[in-house]
Amino acid sequence: MDATKREVRNAKTWISDMKYSRDGALLAVATSSGQIYVHDAADHYSLKSTTSE
């Protein structure tokens, strides 16, 4: 089984939700502060964009 593990040490808030896109290409991570991070699952979960409320 091949698994990818990524650790972020500079996080300042809790993760409140995580969802993959329908095709599995992107992972959206929502934080308790209202920010949303979009990662590219095919590119070692590199950060593609960040938004906030």
Residue 2 lies in a domain: no
Q: What is the pTM of this model?
A: 0.74
Residue with tokens 């089984």: 1
Query: pLDDT (tens digit, 9 = 90+) per residue, 41-52?
Result: 989 889 999 985
Nearest to 10, CA basis, from 44, 40, 50, 42: 50
pLDDT beneath 70, residues of the chain: 1-11, 52-53
Domain that holds residue 41: 15-47
Residue 24 lies in a domain: yes
What is the pLDDT at residue 1?
A: 43
- Residue 4 CA to chain centroid, in angstroms? 13
Count of the separate structural domains present in the chain: 1
